[in-house]
Amino acid sequence: MSALLRLALASAWNRRLSLGLTLLAVLLAATLLLGVERVRHAARDGFAQSVSGTDLVVGARTSPVQLVLYSVFHLGEATNNLSWQSYQAIAGDPAIAWSVPLALGDSHRGHAVLGTTADYFTHYRYGERTPLRLAEGRVFDALFDTVLGAEVATTLGYRLGDQITLSHGAGGLPGMEHEDKPFTVVGILAPTGTPVDRTVHISLPAIEAIHLDWLGGAPIPGLSLAPEVVTKFDLQPKSITAFLVGLRQRVEVFRVQRRINEFRGEPLLAVMPGVALDQLWQTVGVVERALQALSWLVLAVGLAGLMAVMLAGLNERRREMAILRSVGAGPRHILFLLMLESFVVSLLGCALGLGLVTLLALTGDGLLARFGLATLPIAVNAEEMQLLGIVLVCGLLVSLLPAWRAYRLSLADGLIPRL
C-alpha cells in the first residue's frame, strides 16, 4: 500500500501544473463555502446582538420589527414619538432597573443623530453584553458636545475638538442645516460592528436646543437663537422616539411588557428585541440561502474541474496504467490510485481553505467591522466539519468515473504503441 501511495504521489507530481490549477479551484470553493458559513453565523449573531442586555424596547404603537429597526438600527420609516410624561411614568416602575431615552430624526452627512443621556454609555450593551468603550475623549457634558461612532469619525476624518453641524431630518435639502449651532467632538467610541459605529450622539437637551427656533419641521423666518441664548430656555424634552428598558429581574419581562402595552396614557408598544430581530432575520433569510446556494455551486464547479482533469489525463496515463497492471497491480489498485489522488487534492483544498478562513478571522477585524461584523469565529464548529466531510466525500465520488474508465482500459490497448 505504501508503494502504491508513493506511485500516486509521483504521478501527481508529474502532472503538478494541471492538478495545481484544480487544487486552486477546490481551495477557492472550500474557502467560499466555509467563509459564507462563518459570515452567515457572524452576521446573524451580530444582527441579533446589536443590542444585548436590554429587556424591552418601548415606543409608540407600530410594528415590532419597525420599532426595533428604527430605534436600534436607525433604518426604515420613522415611528411616532411618545410623550416625555409617559416615559417618566413607565420608567418609575419599581421593576425597572434602568431606562435610556432615545430621540432620532436628525442626521449628519448621512449618519443618524441620536439624542440620549449619559446613561446610554453606561447601560447599552452589544455582543456578549459588551459595554461601549471610548477610544478617545469623554462622554458629552456641555450642551453642544457630541460623541461620534467609530465609523463616523473614520469615514469623515473627524478628531477631538472638531466642530460639526447637524441637519434636520435626512438632510440633503437646502435650508435644513442647524448651522448656527455647531457641536464640538469630545469623544470617539471604539468600533463595535453595530449601528453605534454609524451614529452621532448628542444629549437630549441639545435636541431641544437646536429646534427652539424651528416650527413644523422648518426654521421660523427671521428668528435665530444664538447658542448662548438657548441655555436660558427650558430644554426638557417634550417627546422622544423610544426608550430602552433593563429590568431588575428577567422574570418580570412579560408583566412589564403587558403593563406598557395596556398603558392608558397613549398607545405604546414594548418589544423584546431578540424576538423582533429573529422575525426580521427570517424575512431577509432568502439572502442567506442565496449565498449558500452560490457557494455550493462554486464547489460543484471546482469538483467538476477535478473530474474533467482526471478524465482528460486518462489518455496520457493509459500506458502508465497498463504498465502498473502488467507488474501485478490489480483493478482495485488502479481504482484506489485514482480515488486516492482525488481525495488528496480535495483534502489539501479543504485544509488550505480552512487555513485561509481562520487567517481572515484572526487578522481581518478592521475589514469585518467595516461591513458591520464584529468578529468571525475562529474555532471550527460541527457544521463546518460536516461541510468539510461532504467536500471530501464529493471528491471521492467524482473520481469514480475516471477510475472506472481506467479499470476498463485493456492491458493490450495500453501497451500497443500508436503510430
Question: Of 236, 271, 306, which residue sits at a domain end?
Answer: 271
Residues 255 and 328 in one domain: no
- Quickly state the pLDDT bin for 276 (edges 50, 70, 90): confident
The gap from C-alpha 377 to its chain's centroid, in whole angstroms, comes to 12
- Quickly state the pLDDT bin for 190 (edges 50, 70, 90): very high
**How confident is the model at residue 379, as a pLDDT?**
66
**How confident is the model at residue 412, as a pLDDT?**
46
Please state, as a whole number, how many other Cβ atoms lie within 10 Å of the Cβ of residue 194.
26
Name 113's bridge partners.
106, 200
**How confident is the model at residue 348, as a pLDDT?**
87
Residues 240 and 101 in one domain: yes
Domain assignment present for residue 208? The answer is: yes
Please state, as a whole number, how many other Cβ atoms lie within 10 Å of the Cβ of residue 387.
22
Residues 267 and 212 in one domain: yes
Question: Of 205, 240, 271, which residue sits at a domain end?
Answer: 271
Residues 148 and 266 in one domain: yes
Question: Of 271, 296, 323, which residue sits at a domain end?
Answer: 271
**How confident is the model at residue 137, as a pLDDT?**
95
Domain assignment present for residue 281? The answer is: no
**In angstroms, rounded to a whole number, what is the distance separating the alpha carbons of residues 224 and 219?**
8
The continuous run of DSSP H or E covering 402 comes out as helix 400-408
Domains contained in the chain, number = 2
- Quickly state the pLDDT bin for 315 (edges 50, 70, 90): low
**In angstroms, rounded to a whole number, what is the distance separating the alpha carbons of residues 51 and 54?**
7
Backbone phi, psi, residue 47, to 5°: -65, -45
Residues 76 and 174 in one domain: yes
Domain assignment present for residue 349? The answer is: yes
**How confident is the model at residue 419, as a pLDDT?**
46
Q: What is the DSSP letter of 171?
A: -
Name 302's bridge partners.
none
Among the listed residues 331, 325, 329, 316, the one whose alpha carbon sits nearest the alpha carbon of residue 418: 316
Residues 300 and 399 in one domain: yes
**What would the grid cell of residue 390 be?**
461532504
Domain assignment present for residue 229? The answer is: yes
At 245-258, the pLDDT tens digits run: 999 998 999 999 99
The continuous run of DSSP H or E covering 389 comes out as helix 382-398
**Where do the H-state alpha helices sit in 92-244?**
119-123, 150-156, 204-210, 227-230
Please identify which residue in the block is written with the cell numbers 421660523.
220
**CA distances from residue 300 to 251, 305, 307 in whole angstroms, order as listed:** 49, 8, 11
Residues 294 and 264 in one domain: no
Residues 338 and 371 in one domain: yes
Q: How big is the CA angle at 8 (ends 5 and 14), to the nearest 5 degrees?
A: 145
pLDDT of residue 1 exceeding 60: no
Domain assignment present for residue 293? The answer is: yes
Global pTM value: 0.71
The per-residue DSSP string of 52-67 comes to BS--EEEEESS-HHHH
Name 147's bridge partners.
187, 201
Domain assignment present for residue 221? The answer is: yes
Cβ atoms 253, 56 nearer than 8 A: yes
At 34-76, the pLDDT tens digits run: 877 777 777 676 676 778 889 999 999 988 888 988 998 888 7
Domain assignment present for residue 280? The answer is: no
Q: What is the mean pLDDT of residues 14-42?
A: 78
Residues 297 and 217 in one domain: no
**How confident is the model at residue 54, as a pLDDT?**
92
Read off the amino acid at residue 41: H
Q: What is the mean pLDDT of residues 127-133?
A: 87
Read off the amino acid at residue 251: V
Cβ atoms 28, 300 nearer than 8 A: no
Rg of the chain taking only CA atoms, in angstroms: 31
Q: Dihedral of CA 90/111/70/182: which sign?
A: positive
Domain assignment present for residue 278? The answer is: no
Residues 295 and 213 in one domain: no
Residues 327 and 373 in one domain: yes
In terms of residue numbers, what domain contains 299?
2-47+286-415
**In angstroms, rounded to a whole number, what is the distance separating the alpha carbons of residues 332 and 335?**
5
Cβ atoms 111, 174 nearer than 8 A: no
Percent above pLDDT 70 for the chain:
80
Please identify which residue in the block is written with the cell numbers 485493456.
410
Backbone phi, psi, residue 103, to 5°: -130, 120
Residues 67 and 172 in one domain: yes
Burial code (b: 16+ CB inside 10 Å, e: under 16) for 25-60 equals bbbbbbbbbbbbbbbbebbebbbbbbbbbbbbbbbb
